[in-house]
Copies of this chain bind each other. A is one copy, B any other.
Amino acid sequence: MSPQRRSGLGTNQEAIRRHNLGTVLRHVHSAGEMSRAELTAIMGLNRSTIAGLVGELESLGISERTTPVEGARQGAGRPSAGVRIAEDGPYVIAVDLGVDRAVVARVGLGGRILQRAQAPVHSDGEAWQVGAAVAALIRTVVADAPAASALVGIGISVPGLVRRNDGLIRLAPNLEWHDVSFGGIVLAALGLDVPVSLANDADLGALAEHTRGAGVGTDELIYISGNVGVGAGIITGGHRLEGAGGYAGEVGHLRFDPAGRPCHCGNRGCWETEVGAHAIAAAIQCPPDKVAQLDEVLDSFGKPSPALRATGTALGQGLASLVNMFNPQTVILGGYLRSLYLLVGAEVDAGLAERALPAPLESVTLALPGLGSDSSLLGAAEIALEPLFIDPVAALGTALEDVRSRLAG
């Protein structure tokens, strides 16, 4: 959201230029590669303005020219030159704090994962221990970054509630963290001063799937993440629904059966007690030490039991509340919910159709993630890259080159 729009500001020339620069980059980042003709059409600016903006992105080392695309000739004149993300351009670090492991990746514009590493995380680990482990993984993935490439920032996906204004982890139930400044902990362990952004894993899954996954082409989508709890990331009007504090999307505690099972939140019969990982594990007699890999366990399953079918129905019935409330176009089922849908999709569809109102039911399609298990990781990259799309010049101004040497010193 441009700052001008958010505050009802007017616009001036320099701000327009930088906004346009960031918008061009956002298009190329989403598409991976575009011709100048496509950019001219999609932005509604004239060709020489586009040429100037593209030229500036090239001089900043962010994009590079591609050879004219065959068949892109438009009438008289040269075929349209292409724009793509530069090799060795700016990059970010993405961190996916999972249930029992942390995944860290060096990610470039275009959502290119350049290098990745992972390590186990112990659920009773202190925050500083996890921070140290994450910092070690970060050192690993920046080791081979070209010295001229600049680190723009770090994005961290969190399985819990993140306060929007300062990134404080209010609650991460699986890690038993309350009010943890994990961003600051990671920076302290690294010894680097670089922007760090944190957000909920379902929110980031929705963001990545919207940018380059199963949610491309719609501005109304929900990504439901099944890790251990159940959370939702909501995109509406093309933007993340964050809420006043950044806590929107806590669908796991929707009221499902007031006479139902006890929930860790203190109430009974929350939706999570029917479709959460522990509920599904119980339905298939999965041993507790395998719950973190529930998706793999389900993938190896043959014929679903009646208990699993009932879980599918409960998933569909709960989704109906979300469909009635948000009227999405696409609902993406991530984590172990993807695996569950592959097994009992008919029950899920039936539960949804039974409880959703006709008009919103017409609009909606259930889908599986387009980015596999990388949705939240790539979403973390997206939020770290975002300053480049607001103002590339300013974002590069604070970026760090040759991080490897800085970390060694």
- A interface, CB within 8 angstroms of B: 1-2, 4-12, 16, 19-20, 23, 26-27, 42-45, 49, 161, 163, 170-171, 218, 220, 232, 236-239, 241-251, 253-259, 265, 267, 317-318, 321, 324-329, 354-355, 357-360, 362-364
Q: A8-B26, A49-B10 are in contact. Are A248 and B325 (CB under 8 A)?
A: yes
* 8 nearest A-B pairs in the assembled complex, by CB-CB distance: A243-B327, A10-B45, A244-B329, A9-B44, A248-B327, A250-B324, A10-B43, A220-B244
Q: A243-B220, A244-B220, A247-B357 are in contact. Are A254 and B43 (CB under 8 A)?
A: no
Q: Which of B27, B44, B327 contacts A244 (CB 8 A)?
A: B327
Q: Which of B10, B44, B242, B247 contacts A10 (CB 8 A)?
A: B44
Give Cα A241–Cα B326 distance, bound, in whole angstroms.
8
Instruction: Give the copy number.
Output: 2
Residues from chain B with a CB closer than 8 A to the CB of A9 are 42-45
Give Cα A68–Cα B251 distance, bound, in whole angstroms.
53
Is there contact, CB below 8 Å, between A16 and B11? yes
Residues from chain B with a CB closer than 8 A to the CB of A238 are 6
Is there contact, CB below 8 Å, between A359 and B23? no
Is there contact, CB below 8 Å, between A326 and B248? yes
Please, which residue of chain B has its CB at the minimum distance from the CB of A269?
B258
Is there contact, CB below 8 Å, between B1 and A237? yes
Is there contact, CB below 8 Å, between B20 and A249? no
Q: A253-B324, A254-B324 are in contact. Are A23 and B8 (CB under 8 A)?
A: yes
Q: A250-B360, A325-B248, A325-B254 are in contact. Are A8 and B20 (CB under 8 A)?
A: no
Most chain B beta carbons < 10 A, residue from A5, A11, A43, A218: A11
Residues from chain B with a CB closer than 8 A to the CB of A255 are 254-256, 317-318, 321, 355
Most chain B beta carbons < 10 A, residue from A6, A267, A357, A362: A357
Additional pairs, 16, CB under 8 Å, beyond known A237-B237, A244-B329: A8-B27, A8-B43, A9-B44, A10-B49, A236-B236, A237-B239, A241-B326, A243-B360, A244-B327, A244-B360, A245-B359, A245-B363, A247-B359, A251-B324, A251-B325, A267-B354
Give Cα A94–Cα B27 distance, bound, in whole angstroms.
40
Is there contact, CB below 8 Å, between B5 and A247? no
Give Cα A254–Cα B254 distance, bound, in whole angstroms.
9
